[in-house]
A and B are shown apart, each in its own frame.
Chain A
Amino acid sequence: DTGVSQDPRHKITKRGQNVTFRCDPISEHNRLYWYRQTLGQGPEFLTYFQNEAQLEKSRLLSDRFSAERPKGSFSTLEIQRTEQGDSAMYLCASSLDGSYEQYFGPGTRLTVT
């Protein structure tokens, strides 16, 4: 299967802890995106990478959030000092340069207790 993969699929953590999620995009895709989806809403854009460069960040991405794509392949999204409001599905997507179509992974569901 050469689709977008995400790990872990589920994460339960206590408030104040740090969490890190991983995304492996489709191998030939040089663009990688992170979105967040809360219950009953559509996905909301968080940030985007062109190869290893992080080129855009949403205002939703507070300073507790950091994303990296060190070698232009996989990406990590870290949330420090988690809050209950961070509970959501975190989706990763990838696309070819210049294409509008983005292909999503299965998501990581984060629950902060």
Chain B
Amino acid sequence: DQQVKQNSPSLSVQEGRISILNCDYTNSMFDYFLWYKKYPAEGPTFLISISSIKDKNEDGRFTVFLNKSAKHLSLHIVPSQPGDSAVYFCAASAREYAGNMLTFGGGTRLMVKP
């Protein structure tokens, strides 16, 4: 069963507007969440993270929101830029997991149109 789900395989947004990428999880043990960005032919690049003790973390144009009761998190990119076009992966981990191994969602392809 998929413990981390990204239900939108793709998202298209106009340059300058907000991009909102969503992620749902089922495992209550998860206590840390991360977003990674992946360009073709490259490995995932760490973008931003949030601990379960917070409900928001912001870094420049990127903000992650966590709703623990709904087991839902989202990544907001404002304003979106063409260079943000990539596949975005949501990942989760738990303190109890050996080595803090990551469980990934299936990814959302973001296309930012000029």
Contacts and interface: CB of A to CB of B under 8 A. Distances in A.
Interface of A: 4, 6, 31, 33, 35, 40-45, 48, 50, 55-56, 91, 93, 95, 98-107
Nearest to B36: A104
Contacts of B32: 100
A102 B106 contact: no
B89 A101 contact: no
Contacts of B99: 31, 33, 48, 50, 55-56
A41 B103 CA distance: 12
20 contacts: A6-B43, A33-B99, A41-B107, A42-B91, A43-B89, A43-B102, A45-B102, A48-B98, A48-B99, A48-B101, A55-B98, A56-B99, A93-B43, A101-B34, A102-B102, A104-B44, A104-B45, A106-B41, A106-B42, A107-B43
A56 B46 contact: no
Contact of A42 (B45, B93, B107): B107
A91 B43 contact: yes
Contacts, number: 67
Contacts of A50: 99
Nearest to A91: B43
A56 B104 contact: no
A13 B9 CA distance: 31
- A-B CB proximity, top 5 nearest: A42-B104, A104-B43, A56-B98, A48-B99, A100-B32
B67 interface: no
B100 interface: yes
Given A33-B99, A55-B99, A99-B100, A40 B46 contact: no
Contacts of A35: 102
